Each structure stands twice: as C-alpha cells, then as structure tokens.
Homo-oligomer: A and B are copies of this chain.
Amino acid sequence: MIDDIWNSLREVRAKAPLVLNITNYVVMNSTANALLAVGASPIMAHSTEEVEDLVAVTGALVVNIGTLSPPWVAAMRLAARKAAAVGTPWVLDPVGVGATAYRNGAAAGLAAFHPAAVRGNASEILALAGASGAATKGVDSTVRTEASIEAAAKLTDATGSVVAVTGRTDYVIFGDLRRAIHNGHPMMARVTGLGCTATALIGAFLAAVRDPFEACFHALVVIGIAGEVAAERAAGPGSLQMHLLDALYAFDRETLARRIRID
C-alpha cells in the first residue's frame, strides 16, 4: 500500500505530466503552484479557440466550475467532450453545486462527459447526485457524511466516475472499492481552495498513474499528509498555504509511511 502510493508520486515526479486546468480565478495561482510543487506541469487556459488543441497534448484535464460563466462553461464542455473522445482522463470539481440552478445545470451537463473522477465536499456530492438524477430522496438539509457516501455510490453508478468526497475524513468510492483517508488538519478549511488543490493533484495523478481509483486515493493521501505537516508548522492559514507547497515539494517516503492513516 505505502509502496503503491509512493510509486505513484514517483511517477508524477518522473513524468512531469502536462495538466490542463480550466479552473476558477480564486485558485489559479495556488493550484498551479501545487501542481509544480508535486512535480507536474500545469497549463491554465479557457478559450474555446484553443482548449481542444490543448486537450490533445495534455496528460489530464481538470475542470473546476468555481467562478463559472457562459463562455467558460462552453470551453469546459468542449474540453470535456474532446477528453472523452480521445481518452484523456479528466476530473470534475463541481464547486458550489447546489447553491444555484445555474451551477446545477452546468455541473450535471459536464458530468455527462464521463469524467474519470469527481471530487467535492459532502454537500456538493449530494447536490450533484441529485442534479444527475442519482440522489437519495429526502436528504436532510444538514449534510450527513453517511448520506453523502450513499449519494457518491449512486453517482459513481450513474456516471462511471470514481467519486471522492472530502472533509474531515476523505472517501474514495467506485463500485465496491472504498477507501477512507483520515489525514489532514482542521485548519486546512481556513485556506481557500484546498479542495480545488486536491482536485488538481488528482489530475496530476490521473495523468501519471491512469487507474482512476488509485489516482484519487493516492493524491488525497499525499495532500492530506502534506496538509497536516504544513498545519503543524503553521501559525495560521497564511503560513499553512506556504508550508503546504513546501511539504508537497519535499514529500518523502518516510513521512508517508509514518503518517498515513487510512482504512
């Protein structure tokens, strides 16, 4: 297990895969930096004039709807369709789905293009499962982890995607395959976009490792451990963000083996 995760990270570092990100304005800098720190090579682009050309040469595609608008959604759809057509793995981050009808429609439309993986928090996964016609009925307005796991399972059945639900504990779900990751630190919730960063790292691992379940699982272990290392060094969320990039860059097998907490 530890060797598998460590080998995946080594693959990312050795291959330095190109990862195309059509992502939100808030996290463009921080996720590009996380991808560089982990050893990948990020490109950020969003114009319908070129996203298909870029998908053709990239190792993986990351689509994140955080600050969506119609021209961006059009580019996301073109890129996702192209990725599905040419077999480039891609990951969907349905940021804020459930908050507005516009997000629900955009996220459900993208989910139909067969993402290899979907990552969201519990309420997003519940909402996306609902928008995709896969939700349990009568979900409580207070999101319970159990309900989101059930929704994730239905979403993975409906879409064929690995689904990652992140929070205090992270879950990776695909059919009968299930993993729970207990790494991370509560202060990570006070840094903007660390969920988006997890999604970007999943993109890097998809490009290097190919198996979507392994890619999600291994990427979440790596960011969880790097985040807890960073939080222990930090005086607050400002220094946590900085230490996180340093910890991803310096991530070693010994830290992985000592800190990993999964079941």
* Chain A contacts to B: CB under 8 angstroms: 24-30, 32-33, 36-37, 42-47, 49-50, 53-54, 57, 66-71, 96, 99-103, 189-193, 234-239, 241-250
Checking B27, B37, B100, B192 against A36 with a beta-carbon cut-off of 8 angstroms, the contacting residue is: B192
Asked if B100 contacts A50 (CB within 8 A), the reply is yes
Asked if B44 contacts A24 (CB within 8 A), the reply is yes
Chain B residues near A234 (CB-CB < 8 A): 246
Question: Which A-B residue pairs are the 6 nearest by beta carbons?
Answer: A238-B245, A236-B246, A236-B249, A32-B192, A238-B242, A50-B100
Cα–Cα, bound, A244→B28 (Å): 20
Checking B26, B71, B243 against A32 with a beta-carbon cut-off of 8 angstroms, the contacting residue is: B26
Chain B residues near A102 (CB-CB < 8 A): 47, 49-50, 53
Q: Contacts A50-B100, A100-B53 hold; do A33 and B237 have CB atoms under 8 A apart?
A: yes
Q: Contacts A47-B68, A235-B250 hold; do A33 and B192 have CB atoms under 8 A apart?
A: yes
Chain B residues near A36 (CB-CB < 8 A): 189-192, 237
Cα–Cα, bound, A131→B28 (Å): 28
Checking B44, B67, B236, B241 against A46 with a beta-carbon cut-off of 8 angstroms, the contacting residue is: B67
Cα–Cα, bound, A96→B20 (Å): 12
15 sampled A-B residue pairs with Cβ under 8 A? A24-B44, A25-B44, A26-B44, A29-B193, A37-B236, A37-B237, A37-B238, A44-B66, A45-B67, A49-B69, A49-B102, A69-B71, A236-B248, A237-B245, A237-B249
